[in-house]
Amino acid sequence: MKRQSPRIGLVHAVQVAMAPIEAAFQERWPDVARMNLFDDALALDLEREDRLTEQLTVRIRRLAEYCIAGGADAVLFTCSAFGAAIEEFAATAPIPVLKPNEAMFEQALTHGARIGMLATFLPAVASMEAEFHAEARRKGVKATIETRCVPEAMAAAKAGDYLLHNRLLAEAAVHFKGFDVLMLAQFSMSGALGDVRENLPVPVLASPHAAVEKLKTILSGTGNKRP
């Protein structure tokens, strides 16, 4: 029987990213079908290796291929540390494969040239900044990005203390008062969006909602879009 709505394959490397993307779908596109894959060793292995190895790149490809074999019409990765591997697979994939933050980067570049980014997972920062600059060049926009990382907030989220997580991020966000826009780097940070906005008189963007909006634009009303 043909599905009435597309199916999105969601690939997670940290558990704390799962609830935020589910909340974004519930708010922006509740009737779309989702399938979830979770490999909690990916982030641990990346931290240990301190670089994106060929083995990790292969694992990213295989996770995406598993989603495709399961009938996904698009794949979204929710961990921001594996952008280069995701992009490599996406270049030849038979369906749309999205990096976690590409939609947020696109939105941020419409707000101005001085971009701030708040992160909680240090191994993701360098690759995200490189992806941001690549997107700015692609759009012909001269933009700068400055990042602050608050790993204590990630530790608090993993321990289930989201009040502390949100407070730490709201306090760190004050640094970006003179910027055109602030991005929250990790999916797991989106729960702090309200607290950060209260502390900061500039636009604040979170990845999950931007990603869902982009997926909906690509797939909504089209059914299965495989070439």
Q: Name residues whose C-beta falls within 8 Å of residue 41's C-beta, 6 or more positions apart in sequence.
A: none
Assess whether pLDDT exceeds 60 at residue 2.
Answer: no
Q: Is the pLDDT of residue 14 over 50?
A: yes
How high is the pLDDT of residue 1?
A: 42
Task: For residue 197, count other CB atoms closer than 10 A to its CB.
Answer: 16
Domain with CATH 3.40.50.1860 in the chain: 7-100+209-219, 102-207
- Count the alpha carbons within 13 Å of 156 in the hemisphere toward its beta carbon: 17
pTM given for the model: 0.85
Residues 78-106 have pLDDT tens digits of 988 898 899 999 999 999 999 999 999 99
Fold of 102-207: Rossmann fold (3.40.50)
CATH of domain 7-100+209-219: 3.40.50.1860
